[in-house]
Amino acid sequence: MRRQILTTAAIAATALAAASPAFAQSQGDWTIGLGIANVNPKSDNGDLAGGAVPTDIDDSTRPSITFEYFIRDNLGIEVLGALPFSHSIESNGTEIGKVKQLPPVVSLQYHFDATPQFKPFIGLGVNFTGFYDADARGPLAGADLQVKNSWGLAAHLGADYWFSDQSAFRADLRYIDINSDVELNGDDIGDVDVNPTVFGISYIRKF
Q: Which domains does the chain have, with CATH numbers?
A: 25-206 (2.40.160.20)
Q: What is the pLDDT of residues 77-106, one digit of tens each?
A: 999 999 999 999 999 999 999 999 999 999
Cα R_g (the chain), whole angstroms: 23
Contact 149, 165 (CB under 8 A): no
What pTM did the predictor assign? 0.83
Q: What is the pLDDT of residues 101-150, one digit of tens each?
A: 999 999 999 999 988 899 999 999 999 999 999 999 999 999 999 999 99
What pLDDT score does 22 carry?
Answer: 54
DSSP letters for 68-137: EEEEETTEEEEEEEESPEEEEEEETTEEEEEEEEE--EEEEEEE--SSSSEEEEEEEEEEEEEEEEEEE-
What pLDDT score does 200 carry?
Answer: 98
**pLDDT at residue 175 tops 70:** yes
**pLDDT at residue 176 tops 90:** yes
Q: What is the pLDDT of residues 58-84, one digit of tens each?
A: 999 999 999 999 999 999 999 999 999
